[in-house]
Amino acid sequence: MPHTGLDPRTPVIVGVGQFAERLDEPGYQRLSAVDIAARAARAAIGDTGAGEQAVVAAIDTMAGVRQFEISSPIATAPLGRSDNYPRSVARRIGAAPARAVLEVVGGQGPQHLVTEFAGAIADGRHEAVLLFGSEAMSTARKFAGAEDEPDFTEHVEGDLEDRGYGIDGMSTRQLVAHGLAEPPAQYALFDNARRARLKQTREEYAQAMGELFAPFTRVAAANPYAATPVERTAAELVTPTATNRLVVDPYTRYVMAREKVNQGASVLIMSVALARRLGVPEQKWVFLHGHADLRERGLMERQDLSRGPAAVMAAEHALKVAGIGLPDVATFDLYSCFPSPVFIVSEGLGLDPDDPRGLTVTGGLPFFGGPGNNYSMHAIAETVRRMRAAPGAFGFVGANGGCLSKYSAGVYSTTPVEWRPGSDAELQREIDSWPAVDQARHPGGWATIETYTVTRGADGTRTGLVIGRLEADGRRFVARTERGDDETLDLLTEGEPVGERVHVRSSGSGNRVAVRHKRLVRKRPALRAEYDHVRVHRDGHRLDVTITRPGANESLRPEANAELDEIFDAYFADPGLWVAIVTGAGERAFAAGHELGQVAGFRPDWLPVTGYAGLTSRGELPKPVIAAVEGDALGAGFDIALACHFLVAAETARFGYPEVRAGLVPTGGLARLPRTLPPNLANEVLLAGRRLSAAEAHAHGLVNRTAAPGRALETARQLADDLLQASPTAIRISLRLMTEPDPESAPALDDLMTTDDAFEGVNALARNRKPQWRNR
């Protein structure tokens, strides 16, 4: 029956295509990701049943889903890559689109693009949009470094609307620092939290995961594009074996997304008017009846880590826009990178995991394959094919990005329908208004486990990861187990850890959790005779601390920061030490900040809680510390100098923050420098990379004393001698009073009156003798 009466601008899917090749199988061609996408795109164009040249000429926009190799700032492409993926694909198929788009990261991307460009066609901004995505990860892994390594590098001219990575909010420095950067561990947290909520044993939940995914393997086994077309039983999927090892509790390898694939898929959308002009048969037309795109709160902000309310809301809204309910849906494809997103969304919808309609049309990411961000393009292509085979039926696709972070849903049918806008913005405002859980960045004390996982190396090593709540105030924290803490690891791998009492402590290497409090007790700080990266010298009541990094401009490795943290702990705890000097060895640099390798590697776990050199995040230092600067004090080196009470600089010293020129932010300087320099000058140093000379810094009050080159430490020692003439008790209490809004009424002033030094000072003055300070 002709689709009459439709608005000519109504969007309709007219073509879908898929392509895959498997290693070591007949016909394998080791194609690049661009070539695979082009094969899928040609298949989608051919699927329209219209003239190929006319269809290609009509395409005004091509939008590509990002491959993994361009999905983060540190991703690599071992065989090379295109610098304009959409236009590389366009060139392969002979298209010349006016607009080329590269979508953000996330498995929600394919469904989001369908929704976005269907709406754009309905608004009259486009007429024909070709969507596609692909991965050649199997080929890249096999041939990287091989003698016959192919080169997939391409340079293509033309505009590109690169939308960036779009990974903001999907992870945090805290999660990365504690081993929760990768999806398997994060999704394991969800499954373990859900198991605890359902009060199931580990064995019961493993059986449920196997029963959930066994039907997926049957679908994959019949799918010609599947990466692993093997049917497996529930027991096979979850029983650990040599080939199916336990990777991260509760996941064996078989229930995790399979990323090493060579797969591509494409969807062609156009207006009804254009479809008619090109002669696309109406039996090919599939309409988007419902849709939704919503974003969840950050993982550590979510109220319940066993649920995904934003994903469920997106699925429900897509059905509402379509005007149907669950009983009306003939096919489902729920994003299945791990069990938890399938469980959570189906549970939220009231959809039984063993529903006879099935929960996948492809075979799912562990069995069909998880081609990066593009899996759901395959799900949409297969759903369209099935809707054509059952006119009037409805198919649902749920696409998930991040860690249940972004969820896009679509409802498809051959039944004609004009474009229906959704209420995503209103729903997103509701989600954003949900209260966030308070977090403890540096937790300490007794706590209870909220959820957990244990990662397992191929060599059998175990690392426990815990999200918990502090007993004192209910704040949430993330922590890891100490290396070798088998007692805590056993707790996490047996029985029910959720709700168990543990102790947590924050340290320079991150937050650590243990069953026994004593395991995390920090030993009383004391100076060691030798350190690897620092030299210490005790001279009476003065401590000289020298950073020794010859040839590295005193750049601070994680180990150096840890040693300095330990040294200053000991200094502040030792009543016999009254003043400390920190300096750098040699005359080239005081401290050049941190090693760029640590930043480039995105390792936020290398800094002690107390900050650079154990000083910059310690708060108000209780005893005097003098910085003696020779050469450059840049970046974190400048932070350290500013954190000290006194600053002595050689005349050749320079101070500055080069971070912005490396794409970074001088966080310490942003907090301190505007309080000590005129605003315009502070802005120039922080934002334009200007370096201050010692004379300028002295003129503006940043530097107490200047010295001839090579004499900064000597001059700092003279300043220290001046300080040692005063009462160390009076200095300590004065430093405390400086932070009080009303020093004259502060309790610390009363404390001073009862000290030995206060009596000694008065008696010495009365007897006209030099006081003998006792620092008490």
Over 70: is that where the pLDDT of 664 sits?
A: yes
Model pLDDT, residue 521:
61
Domains of the chain by residue range: 11-174+254-433, 444-520, 534-724, 737-767
Chain segment 680-725, per-residue pLDDT in tens: 999 999 999 999 999 999 999 999 999 999 999 999 999 999 999 9
* Higher-confidence position of 58 and 768: 58
SS3 state at 389: helix
**Residue 278's pLDDT band (boundaries 50, 70, 90)?**
very high
Over 80: is that where the pLDDT of 531 sits?
A: yes
What does CATH list as the number for 534-724? Answer: 3.90.226.10
Token pair for residue 624?
Answer: 């005097």
Model pLDDT, residue 604:
45
Model pLDDT, residue 74:
81
**H helices present in 601-739, as ranges:** 636-643, 667-676, 679-687, 694-699, 712-724, 728-737
Lowest model confidence (mean pLDDT) among 399-413, 599-613, 634-648, 732-746: 599-613
Residue 558 has a CB neighbour count (10 Å cut-off) of 18
Residue 371 has a CB neighbour count (10 Å cut-off) of 34
Residue 199 has a CB neighbour count (10 Å cut-off) of 8
> Which of 153-167, 212-226, 762-776 tops mean pLDDT?
212-226
Model pLDDT, residue 590:
82
> How far from each other are the two terminal CA atoms of the chain, in whole angstroms?
97
| Mean pLDDT of all residues in 274-297 | 97
Measured between alpha carbons, how far is residue 261 from residues 246, 429, 534 in Å? 21, 38, 49
Model pLDDT, residue 593:
54
**Residue 602's pLDDT band (boundaries 50, 70, 90)?**
very low
Q: Across the strands, what pairs with 503?
A: 446, 514
| Mean pLDDT of all residues in 378-393 | 98
* Higher-confidence position of 348 and 767: 348
Q: What region does 247 belong to: left with phi over 0, alpha with psi -120 to 50, or beta?
A: alpha
- Spatial contact of 609 and 572, defined as CB atoms under 8 Å apart: no
How far, in Å, CA of 412 to CA of 322, rounded? 9
| Contacts of residue 554, Cβ cutoff 8 Å, sequence gap at least 6 | 547, 548, 584, 585, 586, 588, 589, 590, 591, 592, 637
Over 60: is that where the pLDDT of 600 sits?
A: no
| Contacts of residue 468, Cβ cutoff 8 Å, sequence gap at least 6 | 447, 448, 449, 450, 476, 477, 479, 502, 504, 513
**Residue 767's pLDDT band (boundaries 50, 70, 90)?**
confident
**H helices present in 5-134, as ranges:** 33-47, 52-58, 85-93, 109-122
| Contacts of residue 7, Cβ cutoff 8 Å, sequence gap at least 6 | 122, 272, 418, 419
**Residue 555's pLDDT band (boundaries 50, 70, 90)?**
low
Class of the CATH domain delimited by 444-520 = mainly beta
How far, in Å, CA of 37 to CA of 21, rounded? 12
Tell me 112's DSSP state.
H
**Residue 519's pLDDT band (boundaries 50, 70, 90)?**
low
Over 80: is that where the pLDDT of 608 sits?
A: no
Q: Which of 438, 116, 182, 139 is nearest to 300 (CA)?
A: 438
| Mean pLDDT of all residues in 208-226 | 98
Model pLDDT, residue 551:
52
Q: Which of 316, 308, 403, 439 is nearest to 108 (CA)?
A: 403
How far, in Å, CA of 69 to CA of 490, rounded? 37
Over 70: is that where the pLDDT of 228 sits?
A: yes
Token pair for residue 707?
Answer: 């010295």
Over 90: is that where the pLDDT of 72 sits?
A: no
Model pLDDT, residue 598:
45
Laid out side by side, the sheet with 406-413 consists of: 287-295, 406-413, 394-401, 329-334
Model pLDDT, residue 659:
86
Over 70: is that where the pLDDT of 248 sits?
A: yes
| Contacts of residue 679, Cβ cutoff 8 Å, sequence gap at least 6 | none
| Mean pLDDT of all residues in 489-516 | 90
What is the residue-wise DSSP string for 703-731? -SEEE-TT-HHHHHHHHHHHHHTS-HHHH
What's the CATH fold of domain 11-174+254-433? Answer: Peroxisomal Thiolase; Chain A, domain 1 (3.40.47)
Residues in the chain: 776
> Which uninterrupted H or E stretch holds 189?
helix 183-197
Over 60: is that where the pLDDT of 8 sits?
A: yes
Token pair for residue 66?
Answer: 């990002």
Q: Which of 477, 351, 454, 496 is nearest to 409 (CA)?
A: 351
C-alpha neighbours within 13 Å on the C-beta side of residue 663: 5
Model pLDDT, residue 524:
67
Model pLDDT, residue 599:
44
Token pair for residue 599?
Answer: 């930043």
How far, in Å, CA of 300 to CA of 177, rounded? 14
Round the average pLDDT of the chain to a whole number and report it.
91
